[in-house]
Structure 1
Amino acid sequence: MSTLTSREFNQDTGRAKKEALTGPVYITDRGKPSHVLLSYEEYKAMTEKKATIGELLSMDGVEDIEFTPGQVTDKAAAAEF
């Protein structure tokens, strides 16, 4: 993760693009974050539609899958249930 001012971004977009390959680049205006630059791969991963549990359970053939739920062993986590 890195942060660039708007001026730095405008003067060196190549640097911003290079840094975006390793993580988001925050661009600020007057000291406040205003934009985020991401690699295309990271953007795609964030915006891909994920299947819901309902969609996964309604798929053909799932009735043949064996599933045994585990037990919660952490007392703090068990208190949430």
Structure 2
Amino acid sequence: MTTMSSREFNRDVSAAKRAAKHGPVTITEHGRRAHVLLTADEYDQLSGRSDLVGDALVIHDDDPDLDLPHRSQRSLRVPEL
């Protein structure tokens, strides 16, 4: 496991991301573990999640209940040019 100080992390985030591809990266503050950087795939394995963010946005009901106000032609305005 790679370890880097928060100062090193702030100076070179790209290096931390590259190191995370090979395993967790421990980020320390004042010599103590403060954070652990993981790839998204590794996090998904640990948390048991495998769904995509977009999957959470899908409406599975054919007719969702949305209370939308009725629009009439009078409510439409044509901008003056």
- The TM-score by the shorter chain falls in which range? 0.5 to 0.7
Structure 1: runs of 5 or more not aligned: 50-81
Q: Structure 1 vs Structure 2: percent identity of aligned residues?
A: 47
Q: Aligned partners of 1:33 and 1:5: how far apart in 2?
A: 9
Amino acid in the other structure paired with 1:30: H
Structure 2: runs of 5 or more not aligned: 50-81
The equivalent of 1:38 in structure 2 is 38
The equivalent of 2:24 in structure 1 is 24
Q: How well do the aligned residues superpose, as a CA RMSD in angstroms?
A: 0.9
| Alignment length (residue pairs) | 49
Larger Rg: 2
Q: Aligned partners of 1:21 and 1:40: how far apart in 2?
A: 10
3-state SS, counterpart of residue 19 of structure 2:
helix
Taking structure 1 as the reference length, the TM-score comes to: 0.59
Pairwise mapping of residues 8-23 of structure 1 onto structure 2 (< 5 A)?
A: 8-23=8-23
The equivalent of 1:60 in structure 2 is none
Q: Aligned partners of 1:48 and 1:31: how far apart in 2?
A: 31
- Structure number with the higher helix fraction is 1
Q: Aligned partners of 1:39 and 1:18: how far apart in 2?
A: 10
Structure 1 runs, 4 residues or longer, greater than 3 Å off: none
Per-residue deviation, residues 4-50 of structure 1 (Å, max 9, x unmatched)? 0000000000000000001000000000000000011100000116x
